[in-house]
Structure 1
Amino acid sequence: MAESGYLDQYLHELPPSTRNVTSAAMAVARLSELDWAPRGGYPGSDVLWPVRCLLCGWEGLRFYSHLRRARPKGRHAGCVPASEIADRLDQLRQGLTGTCPCEQPHAVTAEAFQETALLLGSAHADEAWDQALALAESLMGSCPAAGRRGRAAQRAFPRT
């Protein structure tokens, strides 16, 4: 597998630095909490990100820096009425858990996140692309415990 773009499904054109991986994990967690789904890798907070609205299926571009704030009153043109958003979000959120039921476990503790992020950096430096991709999945892949993983990322690599 070639280096070029091997991580684009998780980090769109960003190197797998500890900061980028941590930011991406927290971003995926926040999208899950707000019932958005990424349609591509994390591009950075002030770059348009292709997303899908889990309330109605709309697909488009949003800035993550806008999505990470408190819930907006409206989501996008044509979405469910603002009066229904809170109830719909609560219904969807019932599927999120603090436990990772996935066949390949995700890093949901600060210790596991830190260890996996460091291994990802090493695998990338060693050009071990398949290993790096598997480690990236553990840190940024879709999981019902994405919120817990995002909090683990924050504890593993706090911003100073």
Structure 2
Amino acid sequence: MPRAMWNGAISFGLVTVPITLEPATESHDVHFRQVHVEDGGRVRYQKRCEIDGQVLTEDEIGKAYEVTKDELIPITGDDLSGMPLPTARAVEVVAFIDAGSVDPVSFGAGDYYARPKGEVANKPYTLLMPKPKKKPAAKKTTTAKTKKTPAKKSTSRRRKSA
């Protein structure tokens, strides 16, 4: 079974279904490692500071937003945790459309399967699946015998005023 690329939920209306997103295709590329020709040791890359050339550990590396090629704005974990991301782990279905009305280029690079995550999600996940098209039922013609009844005559009499 392919490894999940993303775990989250699909929600529509009041229903939320936990899912995993898995790749629909496999890569059959051959991957090589670089080795030192003389002794066969693997070649590793080190993360170095471009200003002082110092080799850095993971604890010494942070994030920054690049405004221009020469200007970086440091971003801390506190900056990111304060951001409101209500849909970071959920995809909200707003409407269903015909697949033919979407340009295939807009699907992005790669095909994916959304699968229900766990046994509990199987039942609500089926609500997302398209319903099989039913064949039109043959028309049944029935005739019903009706009994015609004559219209009732009014039996109320008017009083003559004196």
User: Which TM-score applies when normalising by structure 1?
Assistant: 0.20
Higher strand share: 2
User: Which TM-score applies when normalising by structure 2?
Assistant: 0.20
Greater CA radius of gyration, 1 or 2?
2
Higher helix share: 1
